[in-house]
Amino acid sequence: MAEYKVMLVDDEEDVIRVIMQKIAWKDLGFEVIGYAHNGVEALEIAEAGQPDVVMTDIKMPYMDGLELAHRLREMNPAVKILFFTGFDEFEYAKEAIRVEAEEYILKPVNAEELTKIFSRIRENLDRELDERRNVEKLRDYYMESLPLLQENFYASLIEGTIRGPEISGYLEDYRIDLTGPLYVILVIHTSSTEVPDGVSPLLLSMAVRRLARERLSGKWRGKFFSYLGNTVMIAQLGREGENMELTDECDRFCRLAKHMNHALVTIGIGRICSRLSDLPSSYTGAREAISYRVLYGTGQAINITEIAPQEKAAPEMDSRYAVDDILKKIKMDSREALGEAVDAFMAQALQTPYSIQRYDFCMMEMIGGLYRLCISSLLDPSEYLGGRFNAYDNVRRFDSVQMRNWIFNVCTALQEALTKNRTTSRLSMVEKAVEYVDAHYSDHDLTIDRICGELGLSAAYFSTVFKRETGRTFINYLTDRRMEEASRLLTETEEKTYVIARKIGYEDPNYFSYVFKKTFGKSPTKYRADAAGSR
C-alpha cells in the first residue's frame, strides 16, 4: 500500500498537535512530514518534502492559507489542499473553491470527520496513482502513438541519424517488419502545379499516398511516410533482379494515378542496398532520379541505376547529415560520441568506389560547418581552424588518418570552449544575483520574481541554476544574508530591534524575531546580550 505525505499548517501549535495525535495517520496510509506555523515556513518545507496533501489554516500571519494554496499549486498542480478555519465566511469559501480545495472544514476539528475526509482523499490519490500506472492505458497510448513513431523512425533512417547497431532495437520497439534482404527507396512526387480544380495540392498528395499504399505495399512490403513534401516508400526486395520489375510497376502506377486521381506523379527509384544503414544513399539516388524528370519527362518512374550507371558514377553523397551530426555532438554529446561521429564521417568520405573529388567536397563541407559554428558561437575561427587558408591546405597536406585526427582535435577544442562558455554564463548569472541581493536585501518586497525580471530569466531556470551553483535555494540565501547583516547590526550598533528589522527587509519585527531565533537559536535581544557579555 502506497504511503502519502501530509503537511499541516497552522499558527496555533496546539491545534496541530491535537490533529497529529487524534488521527491514526499510518492506518490511513499517510505520513506527516512536518508542520509549519505560517505560509512562508510551509513553502520551505513543501519545496524539500513535496507533500501530496496540505491541510492549512486560512488566517495566518505573514502569508495566509489562500496565498499559500496558490503558491503550492504553482509548485505541484496535483497537490490536495484542505482548509480548516474558525472563520465561517462565505468569501473565504468562495476563494477556497476557486483554488480547487478538496475540503473546507470549520474548527474545532472533529477527529471522526477528519478521518473520513482523509479516507476519501486516500481513495482519490490511489485512483490517480493507478491511472498513472495503468499498463493497459500506457499500452493504448503507445499504440496510438506508434504510427507517428514509425514515420519519425523512417525519416531518421534516410537521414542517417540512427547508427547501425541501434536500428534493430527500434525495429523491435516500433513493431516494424523490415527483413529485406534488399531495400530500395522510392520518392513519390506529386506535382503541385497541375492540380484538378477545387482540390488542394495537399489533399491530392494524400490521395496519391493512399493509392500507392493500396497498389504498391503488398508485394514490396512497403513502408510509407512523408518527407520534405513527398511521399517516400521503403520497398523490400528478395533479389536484385526484382529491381526492374519494381520500376515497371511504379511506371504503371504513375499512369493509374493520372487516370484515377488526375494527378501528375513521378516516382524516383534509388539504388538497392542490403543494409538499412545504407538507406540514406538510396534516398539520395531516388531524389536525384526525381530531378531528372526535367530531361526524361514527368508522369513516369525513373530509376537512378538506368540513367546514372553504378560503374560511371558512385552514389551521390550528401555529407550535410554527417556534418550536422558532428556539430550537434559538439554542442550536446560526450567526447566518445563525438569521436564516433567523426569516424562515421570519414568512412562516408572514403567509401568505395573512392573519388578524390568526393573526398575534397566532404572535407570542404566539414570545414565550412566548423567555421559557421565558430561564428554563431562568437568564437574566433582562426583560433581553432588556423589562418585563412590553413584549414583548406590541410585537406591535401594530411593523409586520411591525419585529417581525421585534425578534425577530431578541432571538434573537441570547440566542445570544451562551448562547455566553458555555458559554465561561465551560469556563474555570471549567479554572481549578478548575489550582487543584486547584496544591494537590495533591505527591500521588503525583494522576491525571486523581481530578481528574475532584472536578469531576464525564468524563475524555474534561475532557481535550478542558483541552487546547483550555491547549494542553497534563493529564499534560503536571501534569509541567510539578512540574518548575517542582522547579527552585525545587533553586535556593532545600539539600534532598536524593529529598526534593524526594517533595515534588512522585514516590515514585521515579530516575524524578524521568529526568523532570527530559528536561525541562531535565540532571540535578537538575547543574542545582543550574550555578544556584549563575551566582549
**CATH, residue 297:** 3.30.70.270
| Separation between Cα atoms, residue 65 and residue 74, nearest integer Å | 14
Which residues, 6 or more positions from 220, have their beta carbon under 8 angstroms from its beta carbon? 233, 235, 236, 237, 246
Asked whether residue 37 falls in the same domain as residue 115, the answer is yes
Q: Would you say residue 159 lies in a domain?
A: yes
Q: Would you say residue 40 lies in a domain?
A: yes
Asked whether residue 331 falls in the same domain as residue 271, the answer is no
Asked whether residue 105 falls in the same domain as residue 10, the answer is yes
pLDDT of residue 310: 41
Asked whether residue 398 falls in the same domain as residue 470, the answer is no
Nearest partner of 193 among 204, 177, 208, judged by Cα: 204
Asked whether residue 29 falls in the same domain as residue 65, the answer is yes
pLDDT of residue 314: 42
| Separation between Cα atoms, residue 9 and residue 27, nearest integer Å | 21
Cell numbers 573537441 correspond to what residue?
412
3 state SS of 193? coil
Asked whether residue 154 falls in the same domain as residue 270, the answer is yes
Q: Would you say residue 378 lies in a domain?
A: yes
Indicate the residue among 252, 279, 307 that finishes a domain: 307
Asked whether residue 125 falls in the same domain as residue 155, the answer is no
Asked whether residue 381 falls in the same domain as residue 470, the answer is no
What does the block give as the cell for 197? Answer: 480544380
Residue type (1 letter), 56: T
pLDDT of residue 361: 84
Which residues, 6 or more positions from 105, have their beta carbon under 8 angstroms from its beta carbon? 82, 83, 84, 85, 113, 114, 117
pLDDT of residue 311: 36
What does the block give as the cell for 409? Answer: 582535435
Asked whether residue 269 falls in the same domain as residue 166, the answer is yes
Nearest partner of 234 among 281, 289, 179, 185, judged by Cα: 185
Which residues, 6 or more positions from 313, have their beta carbon under 8 angstroms from its beta carbon? none
Q: Is the peptide bond before 165 cis (omega within 30 degrees of 0)?
A: no
Q: Would you say residue 401 lies in a domain?
A: yes
Q: Is 39 exposed, middle or buried (0-12, 13-18, 19+ CB in 10 A)?
A: buried
Q: Would you say residue 394 lies in a domain?
A: yes
| Separation between Cα atoms, residue 62 and residue 71, nearest integer Å | 14
Beta bridge partners of 219: none
Residue 497 structural domain? 441-534
Asked whether residue 288 falls in the same domain as residue 201, the answer is yes
Indicate the residue among 85, 102, 133 that finishes a domain: 133
Q: Would you say residue 353 lies in a domain?
A: yes
Asked whether residue 94 falls in the same domain as residue 176, the answer is no
| Separation between Cα atoms, residue 12 and residue 420, nearest integer Å | 51
Sign, Cα dihedral of 304, 362, 276, 231: negative
3 state SS of 524? helix
Total number of domains constituting the chain: 4
Asked whether residue 86 falls in the same domain as residue 233, the answer is no
pLDDT of residue 73: 87
Cell numbers 535550478 correspond to what residue?
464
Q: Evaluate whether 39 touches 65 at the Cβ level (below 8 Å).
A: yes
**CATH, residue 62:** 3.40.50.2300
Q: What is the mean pLDDT for each group of 10 consecutive residues in the chain (535 residues)? A: 86 87 90 91 90 90 88 89 73 62 78 90 88 71 85 92 89 91 95 86 93 92 92 94 90 93 93 94 90 74 74 49 84 82 86 67 87 81 75 73 88 86 72 88 90 80 80 90 92 92 92 92 91 75
Cell numbers 573512392 correspond to what residue?
354
Q: Would you say residue 231 lies in a domain?
A: yes
Q: Is 162 exposed, middle or buried (0-12, 13-18, 19+ CB in 10 A)?
A: middle
Indicate the residue among 251, 280, 307 that finishes a domain: 307
Nearest partner of 286 among 259, 319, 308, judged by Cα: 308
Nearest partner of 95 among 86, 106, 104, judged by Cα: 104
pLDDT of residue 387: 65
Q: Would you say residue 432 lies in a domain?
A: no
